[in-house]
Structure 1
Amino acid sequence: MESKALVDEFLQNLVFHPTIQQLKLVDDKGISVAVHTYDVLKTSIKEMKKRYRTMENAAKEIDMFVILVGVIIHDTTKATLRLKNNEISHSNLMRNYPAQVRKEAEKILKEVEKATKVEILDGKFEKIVHIVLSHHGRWGKIVPNSREDDIVHLADKYSATYHRINPIGAKKIVALMSKGHTKKQIIKITGQTEGIINDRLKRAKIYLGLKNNQELLEYYYQNKTVPNGDYSFSRRIKETEALLKKVEKNGFENLILDNELLEYCYKMKNFK
């Protein structure tokens, strides 16, 4: 069994590492990379429960420490590339330059090891790095080759597919229209682009079979609401809003440092 204090110290240093903190500064289609990172952790836990029914069963097959650390650092290049105004995208890097992804992941881990005066077991170190390298699945150069890789890849894919979205729907936009606000004013009030505003109105009109914004406004006057779109899109809006509120209320760091995987991390040997 690993020392609880040792695991906590390592994770604390990791989460407050400058590169991990930068994840909060980079927006990725409506949510920050930090929010996405927490979402991937939450979804990874959900995926393990789906596969193994209980976390106790999952812990017999899955290295929880590897999953947790791998998730925390899996998207760091998305932040570092953007903040350095690098023309290469994160997806391009994953697809064509995995050596650079490896270099950054290893650098972060070694810096945290140095700060906490511990060394991750060699096998675990490599498994963590491989999670980072393979989290794009078939869309990356390196593909998953372990249970841990597969779980994080699926969680990342789910989060990217359903929760990388500006969580504003037609309901909020039409409510502003009903108060006499122009499109320019709505853009300023919501902080959204004209493209996002038009897209959300279009989705509602298609779902209701309406021809124009005036008909949409009339529907709102009659029903005091409008749908955000079809069931799937409305669910995405609702889930992403809830995700953002949770991270805002509790804090990215607190959510990462207080999760279901920790009790299992304490029960295994992680360091030399």
Structure 2
Amino acid sequence: MQGKNKKAVEFIETLLDIEMVQDLELFDDQGVKVSTHTYDVLKISIDELKRDYRTFNEAKQKVEFFALTIGIIIHDLSKGSIRKQEEKLSHSQMMLKKPEYITKEAEKVLAEIEEKVGVQIKDDIRKNILHIVLSHHGKWGKIQPNTKEAHIVYRADMYSAKYHRINPIGADKILKLMTDGMQIDQICKELDCTQGVVKDRLKRAKQELKIKTTKQLLNYYKKNKKIPIGDNFFVQRVRETEKLKKLVDKRGFKNIMLQSPLINYMVDNEIFKEKADLSEV
């Protein structure tokens, strides 16, 4: 495939270098960088392709790899732009109430990269990319996925958000600060987490120990200095999240995204308009 995907590779590299994409490493959800979640969505999507098809060549006949990849890279861009611009609505609220914000942002990014690389994405692929971005929240958004690529990203995003966006903070760290006299808002600031995380960890620890009150939990901690983080399923999800975070931090977000095996199966003339077509635009 060498040479046949030169422009596709350049497009992806250029996209990964722009400020809006790099900003994904500056913001997080529940202790996990948005960039790490983005890679996780790509990995889960690739795992789904491996499960459903015998080879990537076979998968390529059914799934548009370029649309899938670009859609994944830009699906959560607004998580950064919304915070930088101090918008009142969150990313989830935008997806549900104001999807035109998401559309405008995605279109602007695609146009910027097209201009830098000197290409124009074919209309059907461009439409698919925008649809992937707009529909990745599924029933929790305004637009529902209706392409194979969009369904893959929706499922991958949902799994990643549910199981691999878990702040690894345990009840022991929280209880230590509580014994030092800190209030919940102070603990959240110290551990860089939300009140929801604090309450969840205390609740899980109480459930595992069959303890009813936080006071009883504190007494248990003072005596044993060790508190369970949750049931075995939750502990496994925390370990997976920690492993994921370390992997992306070690390899670097851009590098690990460019290691995607899907890139090798992309073909420029299947993705971009021919120069003759461009002259008519």
TM over 0.5: yes
Partner of residue 4, structure 1: 5
Q: Could you state the TM-score of these two structures normalised by the residue count of structure 1?
A: 0.87
- Matched-pair contact (CA < 8 Å) for 1:169–1:237: no
Tell me which residue corresponds to 1:34. 35
Number of aligned pairs? 265
Q: Where in structure 1 do 4 or more consecutive aligned residues deviate above 6 Å?
A: none
The alpha carbon displacement at 1:239 in A equals 1.3
How far apart, in 2, do the equivalents of 1:189 and 1:82 lie?
A: 21
Q: Deviations over 1:157-215 (max 9, x none)?
A: 111111222122236667x68xx973649947744466644542432232122442222
Corresponding residue for residue 203 of structure 1: 204
RMSD over aligned Cα atoms: 2.6
Equivalent pair of 2:6/2:268 in contact (CA under 8 Å): no
How many Å separate the matches in 2 of 1:171 and 1:42? 32
Is contact 2:4-2:266 (8 Å) kept?
Answer: no
**Does the CA contact (< 8 Å) of 2:24 and 2:80 recur in 1?**
yes
Aligned equivalent of 1:13: 14
Structure 2 residue aligned with 1:147: 148
Question: 2: CA distance between counterparts of 1:121 and 1:250?
Answer: 32
Give the aligned partner of residue 277 of structure 2: none
**1-side partners of 2:181 and 2:17: how far apart?**
41
Q: Percent identity?
A: 44
Give the conservation status (yes or no) of the 8 Å contact 2:74–2:133. Answer: yes
- The 8 Å contact of residues 106 and 129 in structure 1, kept in 2 or not, is answered as yes
Structure 2: distance between partners of 1:249 and 1:232: 26
> What letter is aligned with 2:101?
Q
Query: 1:257 corresponds to which residue?
Result: 258
**What is the CA deviation profile of residues 49-95 of structure 1, one whole-angstrom value per residue up to 9, with x for unaligned ones?**
23225433322211111100010011111211111110012112111
Q: Distance in 2 between matches of 1:52 and 1:183?
A: 56
| Counterpart contact for 1:205–1:216, Cα < 8 Å | no
* Structure-2 residue corresponding to 1:160: 161
- 2: CA distance, partners of 1:71 / 1:93: 18
Q: How many Å apart are 1:129 and its aligned residue?
A: 0.7
Distance 1:266 1:255 in 2: 21
- 5+ residue gaps, structure 1, are none
Matched, 1:98 2:61: no
**C-alpha distance in 2, partners of 1:43/1:98?**
25
Q: Which moved more, 1:93-102 or 1:62-71?
A: 93-102
Partner in structure 1 of residue 180 of structure 2: 182
Aligned to 2:219: 214
Question: Within 5 Å, which residues of 2 pair with 1:9-158?
Answer: 9-158=10-159
- What is the one-letter code of the residue matched to 1:15? L
Q: Which moved more, 1:121-130 or 1:228-237?
A: 228-237
State the shift of 1:7 in Å. 1.7
Q: Post-superposition shift, 1:12?
A: 0.7
TM-score by length of 2: 0.84
8 Å CA contact retained: 2:27, 2:33: yes
Gaps of 5+ in 2: 274-281
Q: CA contact under 8 A between 1:26 and 1:83: conserved in structure 2?
A: no
Secondary structure of the corresponding residue to residue 261 of structure 2: coil
